[in-house]
A and B are shown apart, each in its own frame.
Chain A
Amino acid sequence: MKLSFKWLSEYVDLSGITPEELAERITKAGIEVEHITDLSRGIKNVVVGLVKTCEPHPDSDHLHLCQVDLGDEVVQIVCGAPNVAAGQKVAVAKVGAVLPGDFKIKKAKLRGQVSEGMICSLQELGVDGHLVPKEYADGIYVLDEEAVVGQDALPYMNLDDVILELDILPNSAHCMNMIGAAYEVAAILDRVIKLPAPSVKEIEQKASDKIAVQIDAKDGVPFYGARVIENVTIAPSPRWLQNRLIAVGIRPINNIVDITNYVLMEYGQPLHAFDYDRFGSDQVLVRRARDGEKITTLDDQERTLSAEDLVITNGERPMAIAGVMGGAESEVTNETKTVLLEAALFDGRSIRRTSSRLGLRTDASSRFEKGIDPNRVMEAADRAAQLMCELASGTVLQGIVQSGEAQVPPRAISMPWAKINAVLGTSLSKDTILSVFRRLRFQATIDGDALTVSVPSRRPDVAIPEDLVEEVGRMIGYDHIPATLPEGATEGKLTDYQKKHRMVERYMTGSGLYQAVTYSLTSEDKVGAVSLIEGEGFRPIKLSMPMSEERAVLRQSLLPELLDVVKYHLNRHMKDVALFEMGKVFLTKEEKLSQQPVETERLAGVLTGYFRPDDWHHDGLKVDFFAVKGLLEGLMALLGLSDRISFVPSTRKGLHPGRTADILLDDAVIGFLGQIHPVLQKTLELNDTYAFEVDLRTLLQSEVPALRYRSLPRFPAVTRDIALVVDQDVSAGELTEVIQKSGAPLLKEVRLFDVYTGERLESGKKSLAFSLTYLDPERTLTDEEVTKVHNQVLNELETQLGAVLRS
């Protein structure tokens, strides 16, 4: 909403207050002033000039030589505008003037002729071209006859005004018109308000002789009123009216259309002027549209309507889309003689649905959506009729032909007055509270504990006691509300889950992986690129109206988007990437969601290139399966889950079949790690890349026994190293398990320290070397005791896995 400072000052005394100060006060009272625009844009030295003579330039087919009287001198100006003519009063930028865009006016010679100044168009003075009246759109602007030669020209164009642009929120719709803004400003400044009081000169003849009104959709149209104004003369509006419309961002068209726009801005009441003779009947019928019914609107677009839209018809065809836009068929033209003026109330929700479905938002629709003052509908109609009489020499027929009810009584709200202080945390007196309502022009009384406020219909946003609290708060100013700390004490802390969550983050970053945050929305082809921890059968969850194919489906794994981040780095010649992410995935087996999907939190990572780079005297450490496995083993130790975790070979979609392991917690699969499948790597243009994903929720929610200290061994341990030869398909895991089981309880630790395959072994065989540590916490073990257990281990290895000692 653009608020003209000059226009506003007609209603409220703004003396002694600058536009900047007013903006600050309004903003602090809760209606944000987003921009302050000084229409003069710093222009000086632009004066009223009289074009005394205007001759063609001797050496040009389009330039004119003008002798222009500036009051104290007569200068020659070369002007290229097609509409310049002798006798016009015009705005002249004198030599030395500076126009918007840092355009300096200098004495010049144009095709051999001296030019001392410039005759200005509105655009050259900073007015948006879209707002300039058509007749001046391609030329200079011509001032009114009354303009005094030699005076500052800006006031004649209202360019000495300042515009405050308000950010209108749903609770400040009452400021979407000048009168409403005046009430607000008068309350903020605690000053007197003076409002227009329309008086219409009506003739004897009744409007109801010319038109009837019927509403067939009472739920959407509480009130419809029509006036008839005859014998209008269509012409441009007077300058003062044009200037005000331009100032608030509306282009002047002709007097009738400008008057409806003017009253819209003044009262906030959307009006529509039909050409009575083109309306096609003497009856206004307001009804719901028929599905598929068509209308061509004022912007020459054919619109297809639906049964929820409201239309104004002539009994047969729609003449306007109610509250949104009029129809071209009954549009006011230069030939219009009789105006049918509509002033109605339409249901905001219905207007909103229609305007959003048609993608057609207008000054009218946005006001109906936010709610208008029912008590001012008829007054606005009177105001428009008065102006049509005064400015278009129309004759106003007697009465407003109406259907429905526009008047509503003020809303009464009662509450304990002490509640205002209790909610704000203030200690305002009764008088202070009452003075706020006096400023707002709300009737208010305090009787004992009870405050009763009668809220006028122009403030539909004030409906409940809390709204009154807000009115008091914003009028006294939030600066005057103290800052206190809550009286109740509560304990604040992270849950175990949240604490562990942070531990995992720190562990991952401490291990050299950067934390990434990727989008939850991905594409349909990426969503299924890698296997899910849970297995098969999950359906992608699609948005009903995605903004792009790239972001259309909710992720089921964090890996596809993380792999994109890897690719992003490769494309920029960063070959070493180590990233992790913690975030939710969305899982369902339903074809069409009937309930919220399962949301579970994942930890995933991707690593490629060097985990630790080459440096000047050491080789780097390349990422491989075991680097990632070690990372995860460290994580499990951090979470106290080492003993319950195992890694078993696995094949999974998108992963290398020989280099993938499932991660089991006890017996349940909670994640996997592995190399990205070479085929997928190639498709995605990746180097060798390793990835893991685990179900973070399960990991962090697993109960872990409280940490207990174990006493340090007082007796020495005995270590025996063995090198075993086994078939290629026997895994280290199997060997370790047999060693652990058969060596218990004296065997305390098994450590694999070498793996060998090669020509020194029979083909199909491999050798693994282990270091076995035996310990009895109660005494020193004898050599014989160790040998006995050790031999038992060797025996079991041979019987169960065919493992023999390497000679």
Chain B
Amino acid sequence: MKDQLEALKSEALASVQEASDLKTLQDLRVKYLGKKGPITEVLRGMGKLSPEERPVIGQLANDIRNAIQAAIEDKQRKLEEEAIQKRLASETIDVTLPGRVMPKANIHPLTAIVEEIEDLFIGMGFSVEEGPEVETDYYNFEALNLPKDHPARDMQDSFYITEDLLLRTQTSPVQARSMEKHRGQGPVKIICPGKVYRRDNDDATHSHQFMQIEGLYVDKNVRLSDLKGVLTVFAKKMFGEDRDIRFRPSFFPFTEPSVEMDISCFRCKGDGCSLCKHTGWIEILGSGMVHPNVLEMSGFDPKVYTGFAFGMGPERIAMLKYGIDDIRHYYTNDRRFLSQFKQV
């Protein structure tokens, strides 16, 4: 009987070893370890054995059963592992195939520039004001020290609707309106972005519609040196710390003194090239101390208050910053143009 059991063991272990799939293994488990299996059979026939032999054979039968059991489990783990490997191999994909397109567009480059400038000035305590695009002659010109017949005011440059109403030629009227709202009490510290309109034929560098951002700071004791300080901070953050900045006197009817700010050329870094007309400098904005007439007309006492104002063109800034060569691109809205500004 002992021999019988040993033979059974080697037969079973050999079969398990040969089993090549989980189904065969399951069949072997039933065949050898099931209720009708040979080991159960042996144990059932133990009655015929002598009392001395019984525990020996019983022990042996159990050992064999455990050995077969262990072998099957071991084999099962191996087969399962193989199956998983096989499945993973069959599931392998080409990860270099393109990903699914998720819709994702971007804001207009002009919006990006305007928001960047807004954020820089908000960080310096300015808030953002807006105003109407159809303006009265008074706010667009007169309140800005441009009375009728002023040489700097050319009828040919503006889109009039009636004698008194026109498309604003600058965002400066927002300054006058904001100052009026403050009723002579400072501080007024605002920037005003918006669309403006001038009678220009559209070409690579001119547009009858364009954007402007103006800034205004009116308070007691505002100095030209403050204008220089604030605009220097702005220029360095906007265009890079390594930029040189130059201030030079200029003329605007609504400021006195007036200041033009240049920054060292983007392309040649000041050595002179075609972009900067070989001067090494690029004009970036106009500014100055608010003209006393403007303060007075908007209800501020020029003896008590001073202020500075500045204005710049986002189209030009974006053109310089990104190297855009034609102002019309902004208004053509070609997707191949717009989609280049994903990062902004």
A residues with CB within 8 A of B: 27-30, 32, 169-172, 348-349, 352-353, 356, 369-370, 422-426, 464, 466-467, 469-470, 473-474, 478-479, 481-495, 498, 502, 505-506, 508-521, 541-547, 551, 554, 565, 568-569, 572, 574, 577-579, 583-584, 586, 592-597, 599, 611-613, 615-616, 618
Contacts and interface: CB of A to CB of B under 8 A. Distances in A.
Contacts of B97: 616
A423 B289 contact: yes
15 contacts: A30-B251, A467-B256, A478-B248, A487-B221, A498-B128, A502-B115, A511-B105, A514-B105, A514-B333, A516-B338, A568-B332, A569-B334, A583-B195, A596-B134, A596-B135
A16 B149 CA distance: 44
A423 B100 contact: no
Contacts of B105: 508-515, 578
Given A577-B335, A615-B101, 4 more contacts: A486-B125, A498-B128, A509-B105, A521-B208
B333 A615 contact: no
Interface string B96-114: 0110111111111011000
Which A-B residue pairs are the 6 nearest by beta carbons?
A512-B103, A425-B225, A30-B249, A425-B223, A470-B257, A169-B251
Contact of A514 (B133, B229, B291, B339): B339
Contacts of B249: 28-30, 470, 473-474, 478
Given A424-B224, A505-B111, A27 B149 contact: no
Interface in B288-323: 289, 291-292, 306
Contacts of B335: 514, 569, 574, 577
Contacts of B221: 422, 487
A466 B292 CA distance: 8
B122 to A, nearest CB: 4
B333 A518 contact: yes
| Interface hub of B123, B134, B195, B246 (most chain A Cβ within 10 A) | B134
A546 B161 CA distance: 9
Contacts of B259: 478
Contacts of A551: 208
A489 B186 CA distance: 12
Nearest to B119: A494
Contacts of B338: 514-516
A490 B107 contact: no
A349 B152 CA distance: 12
B250 interface: yes
B165 A596 contact: yes
B239 interface: no
B127 A492 contact: yes
A622 to B, nearest CB: 13
Nearest to A474: B249
B161 A593 contact: yes
A485 B108 contact: no
B242 to A, nearest CB: 17
A508 B103 CA distance: 10
Given A478-B247, A481-B225, A487-B221, A543 B152 contact: no
Contact of B133 (A486, A508, A520, A545): A520
Contacts of B160: 543-545
A544 B27 CA distance: 97
A466 B257 contact: yes
B7 interface: no
Contacts of A509: 104-107
Contacts of B332: 565, 568
Given A466-B291, A479-B247, A517-B108, A615 B100 contact: yes
Nearest to A464: B292
B75 interface: no
Q: Choose among A514, A516, A543 the residue with the greatest number of B CB atoms under 10 Å from its CB.
A: A514
Nearest to B290: A466
B228 A481 contact: yes
A354 B300 CA distance: 37
A479 B259 CA distance: 12
Contacts of A488: 187, 219-220
B209 A521 contact: yes
Contacts, number: 248
B108 to A, nearest CB: 4
A777 B336 CA distance: 52
A483 B306 CA distance: 17
B240 interface: no
A45 to B, nearest CB: 26
B136 A596 contact: yes
Contacts of A583: 195
B173 to A, nearest CB: 11
B178 interface: no
Nearest to B228: A483
A484 to B, nearest CB: 4
Contacts of A487: 221
B88 interface: no
A577 to B, nearest CB: 7
Given A169-B250, A542-B161, A505 B107 contact: yes
Contacts of B162: 544, 592-594
Nearest to B222: A486
Given A423-B289, A466-B291, A593-B161, A170 B256 contact: no
Given A356-B156, A490-B189, A519 B151 contact: no
Contacts of B212: none
A321 to B, nearest CB: 18
Interface in B223-278: 223-226, 228-230, 232-233, 246-251, 253, 256-260
B29 interface: no
Contact of B226 (A425, A464, A572, A616): A425
A426 B226 CA distance: 11
A542 B137 CA distance: 17
Contacts of A593: 161-162, 165
A554 B197 CA distance: 12
Contacts of B223: 422-425, 484
B333 A579 contact: yes
Given A170-B151, A469-B257, A519 B331 contact: yes
Nearest to B163: A544
B225 A516 contact: no
Contacts of A546: 159
A765 B111 CA distance: 50
B217 interface: yes
B224 A481 contact: yes
Given A27-B248, A541-B161, A547 B101 contact: no
B49 interface: no
B201 interface: yes
B155 interface: yes
A448 B155 CA distance: 47
B200 to A, nearest CB: 9
Contact of A30 (B165, B199, B250): B250
Most chain A beta carbons < 10 A, residue from B199, B220, B247: B247
B128 A494 contact: yes
Given A425-B226, A481-B225, A486-B222, A516 B333 contact: yes
B121 interface: yes
Contacts of A542: 161
Given A29-B249, A356-B156, A515-B111, A482 B100 contact: no
Contact of B104 (A27, A512, A579): A512
B188 to A, nearest CB: 9
B132 interface: yes
Contacts of A592: 162
B134 A597 contact: yes
A613 B104 CA distance: 12
A356 B108 contact: no
B337 to A, nearest CB: 10
A171 B338 CA distance: 42
Contacts of A28: 248-249
Given A517-B110, A616-B97, A486 B128 contact: no
Interface in B137-181: 149, 151-152, 154-156, 159-162, 165, 167
